[in-house]
């Protein structure tokens, strides 16, 4: 099965909000990636082939709910990463 077009829609939502989050600018790349992974692991995946599929089939209220869940998951992830010193 070829699946080049299949992807988790939540990844883009998390990465978009992460880029805009004020706390992300003070973090190094590794810490930002940790935040993204922790947040994504808290969210149910939404696999799609094309982003336009989600825009077409999702009601605005559902999109708002997803964005709110992403925001909450990111805040929890930021708190967790800040509370754990880096080892390396």
Q: Kindly give the interhelix angle for 9-20 and 29-42, rounded to the nearest 10 degrees.
A: 130
- Of 4 and 33, the structure prediction assigns the larger pLDDT to 33
CA-only gyration radius of the chain, Å: 14
- Strand, helix or coil at 21? coil
Distance CA(27)–CA(57), nearest Å, equals: 36
Residue 40 clears pLDDT 80, i.e. is over it: yes
Taking the domains of the chain in order of start, what are their residue ranges? 7-82
pTM across the whole model:
0.86
Q: State CA 7 to chain mean position distance.
A: 13
Which percentage of the chain shows pLDDT scores above 90?
A: 66
Angle at 77 between CA 71 and CA 82, to 5 degrees: 130
């Amino acid at each position: 099965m070829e699946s080049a077009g299949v992807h988790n829609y939540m990844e883009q939502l998390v990465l978009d909000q992460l880029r805009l989050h004020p706390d992300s600018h003070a973090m190094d790349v590794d810490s930002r990636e940790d935040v993204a992974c922790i947040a994504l692991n808290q969210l149910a995946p939404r696999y799609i082939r094309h982003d336009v599929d989600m825009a077409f089939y999702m009601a605005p209220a559902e999109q708002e709910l997803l964005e709110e869940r992403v925001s909450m998951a990111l805040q929890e992830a930021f708190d967790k990463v800040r509370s754990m010193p880096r080892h390396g």
